[in-house]
């Protein structure tokens, strides 16, 4: 296997684990946070908007959203089209959001500590060229 791809896979596993550790005190997992984060950013979203935004398949989002609703992080309602579901953050989530976001920022700064701002941008641009 190409060492570049191998390295990317390794870093993914490492980062995902670090995110999970960071979120553990809030009883959240990495993928749950991804969903909360993008809902917060867009205020409210349909399931389809979420999975298209995050680039995962629909069933993955169905399950994560249901779990998040069970746990009280989000509220699900139906739009005028009775097929679609609209999702937004609960009061509890809105309150907790800034604290969790802060913890995540600390984690991000920590793992990206070895890179300058220029290198971060460069890494981002190089990653985008992989396709």
Partner DNA sequence: AACATATATTTAGTTAGCTAAGTAATTTGG
Partner DNA sequence: CCAAATTACTTAGCTAACTAAATATATGTT
Binding part of the chain for a copy of itself, among 3-11, 43-51, 76-84, 89-97 by CB under 8 A, reads 3-11
- Tell me which of 22, 32, 36, 100 binds DNA, using CB under 7 A: 32
- Tell me which of 30, 38, 104, 111 binds DNA, using CB under 7 A: 30
With CB under 5 to 8 Å by kind, the binding choice for 22 among DNA, a copy of itself, none is: none
- Distance, in Å, from the CA atom of 106 to the CA atom of 13, rounded to the nearest integer, reads 19
For residue 118, what are its two tokens? Answer: 């220029």
With CB under 5 to 8 Å by kind, the binding choice for 65 among DNA, a copy of itself, none is: DNA
- Distance, in Å, from the CA atom of 103 to the CA atom of 99, rounded to the nearest integer, reads 6
- Tell me which of 27, 43, 55, 77 binds a copy of itself, using CB under 8 A: 55
Helix locations, the chain, DSSP H = 3-24, 30-42, 47-54, 58-70, 91-111, 117-128
């Amino acid at each position: 296997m190409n060492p570049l791809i191998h390295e990317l896979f390794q870093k993914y596993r490492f980062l995902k684990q670090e995110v999970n550790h960071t979120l553990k005190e809030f009883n959240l997992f990495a993928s749950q946070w991804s969903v909360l984060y993008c809902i917060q950013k867009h205020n409210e979203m349909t399931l389809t908007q979420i999975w298209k935004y995050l680039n995962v398949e629909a069933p993955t989002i169905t399950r994560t959203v249901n779990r998040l609703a069970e746990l009280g992080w989000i509220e699900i309602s139906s739009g005028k089209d009775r097929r679609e579901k609209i999702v937004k953050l609960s009061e509890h989530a809105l309150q907790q959001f800034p604290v969790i976001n802060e913890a995540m920022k600390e984690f991000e700064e920590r793992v990206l500590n070895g890179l300058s701002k220029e290198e971060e941008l460069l890494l981002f641009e190089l990653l985008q060229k992989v396709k």
